[in-house]
Each structure stands twice: as structure tokens, then as C-alpha cells.
Amino acid sequence: MLQTISKIYVKEDQVDEFVEVFKGMIEPTKKEKGYIQYEMYQDEENPALLIVLEQWENKEDFDNHLKSEHFERIVPKMSKFMTKETELNLCYKIV
């Protein structure tokens, strides 16, 4: 199983707009092969820091998600609300 952790830094006054655009990713992603989890969290101390946790059966399924129509269509819309590039960690469960 692959766990991804994405830290997304959004302009403080545009968090709500970012979240609305992100919501368009949820339902199509849930229909993808290998999908397990796709959730967004907001940092308690910094509300402009959003964290997306994803779980996929394997890296191939995650890579296919990155090439999906909805990902390629929606992610560019989200980038205009961001202050810097997303920090992405790919992690494999060991215990």
C-alpha cells in the first residue's frame, strides 16, 4: 500500500476558494482503480496549510491518478491559489 502526504500552502485569503476547487477532485478520484483514501485536513496553527492524505493500492495506481483527466484539468486551477509548490511524500507501510 502507498500512502501519500501532500502539504499545500495556500494564500491566506483564498483557502475557501481553493477547497471548493479541490472538491471537484474527490468523486472522480474515488472511482479510480486502486483508490483507498483521499482526504484533506487543515493545519491547526496555520489554516493556510492544507494536507492531503491519499492511500493507493500501489504506486502504479497513484501514477495513473496523476495522469487522469480530472487531475490534469483541476490541478492547474488550484495552483493559482498556492504560494509555493506542493511538498509531496510517498510512503510505504512497513508495520
Residue 5: Cβ within 10 Å count? 13
* pLDDT confidence tier of residue 44, bands split at 50, 70 and 90: very high
Q: pLDDT tens digits, residue range 4-40?
A: 999 999 999 999 999 999 999 999 999 999 999 999 9
Q: Which three cell numbers stand for residue 84?
A: 509555493
pLDDT tops 90 at residue 60: yes
Number of H helices, E strands in the chain: 3, 4
Class of domain 2-92: alpha beta
Q: Which three cell numbers stand for residue 92?
A: 510505504
Domain boundaries, the chain: 2-92
